[in-house]
Amino acid sequence: MLVLQLTLMAKKSRISAPKLQKALVGICRICESHLATYLVQKHYHSRIASGKQDLQSQRYLLSATLLWLLGNEQNTACSPAAVGSS
């Protein structure tokens, strides 16, 4: 029963590092170190995946902003030429 409670605590996606560590230590003390190892791997895998997703969305936003800025620069560069030629 205690292993189940600690496992559910460790599986929470928004668990803080100290709480995760306490849960994993508790699981190891009950001689379930393979379960603790699995939970650590699962936790860090999800952290890496969410970090990768954040980087991809930031990359898209940066690309869109850069294109917008380049478009504005091109428009301001063309405007004086259009005014001067009329």
**28-53 per-position pLDDT tens digit:** 888 888 888 888 888 888 888 888 87
Asked if residue 53 belongs to a domain, the reply is yes
Domain span at 32: 2-67
CA neighbor of 19 nearest in space, from 9, 7, 27, 4: 9
Amino acid in the structure at residue 37: T
Provide the whole-model pTM.
0.52
Q: How many domains does the chain contain in total?
A: 1
Sorting pLDDT into bands at 50, 70 and 90, what band is 82?
low
Asked if residue 34 belongs to a domain, the reply is yes
Asked if residue 72 belongs to a domain, the reply is no
Asked if residue 74 belongs to a domain, the reply is no
Asked if residue 84 belongs to a domain, the reply is no
CA distance 12 to 18: 13
DSSP 8-state assignment for residue 83:
H
Asked if residue 76 belongs to a domain, the reply is no
Asked if residue 86 belongs to a domain, the reply is no
